[in-house]
Amino acid sequence: MGLLIPRGLLDAIVEHARAEHPYEACGIVAGPAGTGRPARHVPMANTAGDRRRRFRFDPDEQLAVWRDMDARGEDPVVVYHSHPTTAAVPSPSDIGGAWDPSVHYLIVSTRDPVPEVRAYRIKGLVAAEEPVNSDPVPTCYVSEFGL
């Protein structure tokens, strides 16, 4: 089945990644608790020491976002970040930092003029690519599994 995400949300993620280039962008997409449906884009600050190669949510901002989701009755559905110079494939640190196997981990590569978007489910130290579907078709390339 994969990730079904509204075009507007996917476009907002890609725009965030483009705006932060050459640094990694990061954020989440929240959705109604228990549904797995992406509904609200939440761009977040990247506070990693080397923002060109890594991302890290600001702990205070992350706590505030999670409290806001709780107040709204939402769960994190998608955790995303960008790769400014590499393919949209999770790095060992991306895999090691994945904390919830029910979350879709989405990566946007902005190394080429047309961004590449791919999604993964990560459980343990295994990343399994999944299809990304959006209706209507987004203006960016969505891996060979999509659309």
Q: What is the CATH number of the domain that holds 102?
A: 3.40.140.10
User: The whole model's pTM is what?
Assistant: 0.89
Question: Does residue 123 lie in a domain region?
Answer: yes
Residue 101 maps to a domain: yes
Distance in angstroms (rounded) separating the CA atoms of residues 88 and 116: 6
Tell whether 144 is covered by a domain: no
Q: Which domain holds residue 17?
A: 3-135
Domain count of the fold of the chain: 1
The tokens of 44 are what? 């977040």
One digit per residue, pLDDT tens: the chain, 147 residues?
799 999 999 999 999 999 999 999 999 999 999 999 999 999 999 998 888 888 999 999 999 999 999 999 999 999 999 999 999 999 999 999 999 999 999 999 999 999 999 999 999 899 999 999 987 544 444 444 343
- 34: alpha, beta or left? (left if phi > 0; alpha if psi -120 to 50): left
